[in-house]
Structures are given as structure tokens and as C-alpha cells.
Structure 1
Amino acid sequence: MRLENKVILISGSATGIGKAIAKCCVTEGARVIIHGLEADLAAEVVAELGADKAVAHVEDLTNEGCPQRLVDLALSTYGQLDAVVNNAAMVSQGNIHTTDAAFFMKMMSVNALAPFLLTKAALPALTKTHGSVLNIGSVNAYSGEPNLLPYSISKGALMTLTRNLGDTLMRENGVRVNQINPGWVLTENEAKRKREHGLREDWYTDLPKVYAPAGRILWPEEIAAAAIFWLADESGPISGQVMDLEQHPFIGRNPPKDTSTIPSK
């Protein structure tokens, strides 16, 4: 039980990667705070994990005071907080021609500012437990796809936040801050987006090797398995680190120039 007696707050955990992390945390002995925007989905996760192992809070993370309300829920329910997983994210397409100021600021608010504010709200509790923060980024942080410009910028900002606080908070508070950058993951929302783009229902079963050398993309459970290492004591004092989780070297990779096999992404 690698997380026995730990209390972990996971934003955006009613679906996808966050839900997979929550389930894995409970399997490893933790109690969790589930967060999301959909009350029915959050309730389903709590029912699956058990009311003695999970409690939910449904609210837009960018609402004023929401981060503190999440922290307060953890403390009032379980009496402590050992880790925060900043997983909630807005994923929408946009480039320099289609992105206006309001859309850009919304993306930054959800994907970069909210993790900062949740970490800040949790810091006093995490200092008491010598806890940790795990940010869930994206390999798009390094430059991103042409039509994911604001999203990629926001994930680049999150990566800088991780490296900066990973140094500062370890020295000043004994709190570790690390990040994992998932590649292409088959979440419920990703499947929905691809269907909305006109792809067939089983689009993920026949992907070009240039995008999925293994013949498939990643499962949320595989990202969750990696998250446990950073939340567990076995990762020791390691802080300020970013781990990419993709099935090919994302940086410096030069795929074939034949574009006929590129799917609509």
C-alpha cells in the first residue's frame, strides 16, 4: 500500500486521467477528494470508490474561493492533506487566427492560474505533512500542434510553474512539486472530441504508426500508474522534475513527411 493513510486532492477527477489517478490512489491505500464539473459523474466515482474513501466537490475551479473550499473539504473530512494533483484542464482548439483575448485568458485561467491558486491554498496543509504537488501537463508544452496554440502555451506555463515551485517549496516548506506530461491518451473526452471531428466510432483501433508506434495510444490507467510514484514516499526528495509519458521521443523526432496517413486530430 504505497499511499496508505495519505489524503490526496485531485482536480478534474470525475472523468479521464483524474478519475484513473483517484482509483489508483484508493487502491494504494489513500483517501481522495474528487473534483469536477458534473455532479452525476462525481457521484458515480465516489460510489465506485466508497463513501469512506472518497468525497466530492463540484464547482468550476476558476470560481473565486474554489481552491480554498477544496482544501477545507479535505481538512474537515479527513483532518489532513498530503498531496494535490492539478489535473483539471481545458482542452480546445485554436490558433493565432481563431484565438481572441477572452478565449486565451480562459485557457490560461483554467490550465495555469488555477493550479497555482490550488497549490497556494493547499500549501499550509502540505507543509504540515511534508506533502507533494503533482501537476498533469502535456507533451504539447514544448511547442504543440498548430491548432492547439493557447492550450500549448498554458501547458508551457504550467511546466515553468512546476520547475520554479519545485525548487522554492522544497527549500522553504519541504513540499515537493513535480509534473508528468502525458502524450496522446484515450480518455472519454478525447474520444468525444474525435467523434465531433468526424472520425468513426472506433478511430483509435487503426492509427498510423507515426502517431502510435505501439499500434494504440495510451490508457488513462497507464498515466495513473506513473502518478503513484510521484505521490508516494519512494520518490524521496525529488522535486522540480518533469517526466514525459509518450511512446516515442517527442523532442527531436522527425516523422516521415508522407501526410496521406495523418488522421484528423
Structure 2
Amino acid sequence: MRLAGKVILVTGSCTGIGKAIAQRCVAEGARVLIHGLESDWGEALVQELGPDKAVFAHADLAHAETPNQLVDLVLQTFGRLDAVVNNAAMVVSSNIQTTDLAFFRRVLDVNTVAPFALIQAALPHLTKTNGCVLNIGSVNAWSGEPNLLAYSVSKGALMTLTRNLGDTLFREFGVRVNQINPGWVLTENEAQRKQEQGQPSNWYETVSPLIAPAGRILWPAEMAAAAVYWLSDESGPISGQVVDLEQYPLIGRNPPKH
């Protein structure tokens, strides 16, 4: 039980990586706050994990009051807060032609500003428990794809936030802040998104070996397994670090030989 007794708030945890993290946290002995916009899925996950181990909050992170509401709910339900996982994000396609200012601001609000605001709201309580923050970024933070402009910029900003707060909050409050950058992960939303773009239902079975040397893309459970290390006491005093979780090197990568 690597997370025994801990209480962890996981945003965007009704599906995908966030759901896998919440499930793994409970399996490791933690209690969790599930958050998302999909009420049916959120309530179903609470029933799966056990009402004594999970509580669900339906809330839009773009609203200024949401971070405080989430922190208040987790404290009212479980009496403490040991970790925040900033996982929720708008994963949306856009480029220089299709990214208007309103859209850009919305993406930044959800993907970058909301994690900052949640850290602010949670900090007094994380200080009491020598807690931590785990931000879920993306390998797109390093530059991103042409059609993921706003999303990539938001994740790049989140990465800088992690490194900055990972230093200052640990020095001043004993609160660690780290980040994992998943590569291409087979979440429910990603599977649906590709089908909406015209791909066959089994598109993930025929991904190029250049992108997926393993013959498949990553699974949410693999991201959750990595998350546990950063949420547990095993990671010790490590703070301000960003780790890429992909199956090939992002820099200096060579195409496969034929």
C-alpha cells in the first residue's frame, strides 16, 4: 500500500489517464476526489471504488470558484488533503488559422490557469501534510504538432509552472511539485477523436512503427503506474522535475531502418 492513508484530488478523472490514476490510488490505499463534467461516469466510478473511498464533483475548471469548491469538498469529506493531480485538460485541435483569441484563452484557462489556481487553493492544506502536486502534461509541451497549437502552448506553460513552483513551494512550504509528460495514450476520448477524424474503429492497431515501436500506443494504466511514484513518499525530496513518458527519444530520434 504505497499511498496508505493519503487523500488525493484528481481532476479530469471520469475517463482516461485521470480515471486510471484514481483507480490506482485507491488500489494503493488512498481515498480520492473524482472530478469531471461527465456525471454518470463520475458517479459510476465512485460506486466502483466505494463511497467510503471516493467522492465525485461535477465542476467546470474554467470557473474561478471551482478550485476552492473542490478543495472544500475533499476536506469536508475526508478531513485532509495530501496531493493534487492536475490532469484535466482540453485536448483540442487548432492551428494558427483556426485559433482565435477566445478559443486560445479558453484552452489556457482550463489547461494552465486552473492548475495554478487549484495549487493556490490547496497549498495551505498540502503544507500541513507535507503534500505534493503532480501535473499531467504532454510531450507536446516541447513544441507540439502543427494542429495542436493552443494545446501544446498550454502544456509548455504548465511545464514552466511545474519547474518554478517545484522549487519555490518546496523551499518555502515543503510541498513538492512534479510533472509527467505522457506521449500518445489510448484513452476513450482519443479513440473517439480519431474516429471522428475519419479513422477506422481499430485505427490504434495499425499505428506506424515510427510512432509506436512497441506495436501499440501507451495505456492509461501505464501512466497511472508512473504517477504513483510521484504521489508516494518513495520520491522523497525530488521536486521541480518533468519526466517524459514515451516509447522513443524526443530529441535525436532516428527513423527505423528498412
TM-score bin (small chain):
over 0.9
Counterpart in the other structure of 1:261: none
Aligned partner of 1:226: which letter?
A
Q: Does 1:212 pair with 2:212?
A: yes
SS of the equivalent of 1:124 reads helix
Task: Tell me how far 1:252 sits from its aligned partner.
Answer: 2.6
Q: Which runs of 4+ in 1 moved over 4 A?
A: none
Label 1:47 to 1:237 Cα distance change in 2 as closer, same or farther (>3 A).
Answer: same
Aligned partner of 2:232: which letter?
A
Aligned partner of 1:34: which letter?
I
Counterpart in the other structure of 2:66: 66
CA distance in 2, matches of 1:86, 1:250: 23
Task: Tell me how far 1:256 sits from its aligned partner.
Answer: 6.5
Counterpart in the other structure of 1:50: 50
Contact 2:39 2:58 (C-alpha < 8 Å) held by counterparts: yes
Counterpart in the other structure of 1:96: 96
Which residues in structure 2 correspond to 1:1-265 (within 5 Å)?
Answer: 1-255=1-255
Aligned partner of 2:228: which letter?
I
Contact 2:8 2:32 (C-alpha < 8 Å) held by counterparts: yes
CA RMSD of aligned residues (A): 1.2
CA distance in 1, matches of 2:147, 2:157: 18
CA distance in 1, matches of 2:86, 2:98: 27
TM-score (structure 1 length as normaliser): 0.96
TM-score (structure 2 length as normaliser): 0.98
Which consecutive residues of structure 2, in runs of 5 or more, have no partner in the other structure? none
Task: Tell me how far 1:255 sits from its aligned partner.
Answer: 3.2
SS of the equivalent of 1:140 reads helix
Once the two structures are aligned, what percentage of the paired residues are identical?
Answer: 70
SS of the equivalent of 1:244 reads strand
CA distance in 1, matches of 2:181, 2:13: 17
CA distance in 1, matches of 2:61, 2:253: 35
SS of the equivalent of 1:186 reads coil
Task: Tell me how far 1:48 sits from its aligned partner.
Answer: 0.6
Task: Tell me how far 1:64 sits from its aligned partner.
Answer: 2.0
Task: Tell me how far 1:98 sits from its aligned partner.
Answer: 1.1
Aligned partner of 1:94: which letter?
S
SS of the equivalent of 2:13 reads coil
CA distance in 2, matches of 1:118, 1:216: 34
- CA distances 1:181-214 after superposition (whole Å, capped 9, x unpaired): 0000000000000000100001111111001000
Task: Tell me how far 1:21 sits from its aligned partner.
Answer: 0.1
CA distance in 1, matches of 2:202, 2:113: 35
SS of the equivalent of 2:61 reads coil
Task: Tell me how far 1:117 sits from its aligned partner.
Answer: 0.3
CA distance in 2, matches of 1:74, 1:94: 35
SS of the equivalent of 1:239 reads coil
Which consecutive residues of structure 1, in runs of 5 or more, have no partner in the other structure? 259-265
Contact 2:62 2:106 (C-alpha < 8 Å) held by counterparts: no
- CA distances 1:113-163 after superposition (whole Å, capped 9, x unpaired): 000000100000000000000000000000000110111000000000000
Task: Tell me how far 1:102 sits from its aligned partner.
Answer: 0.5
SS of the equivalent of 1:13 reads coil
Counterpart in the other structure of 1:263: none
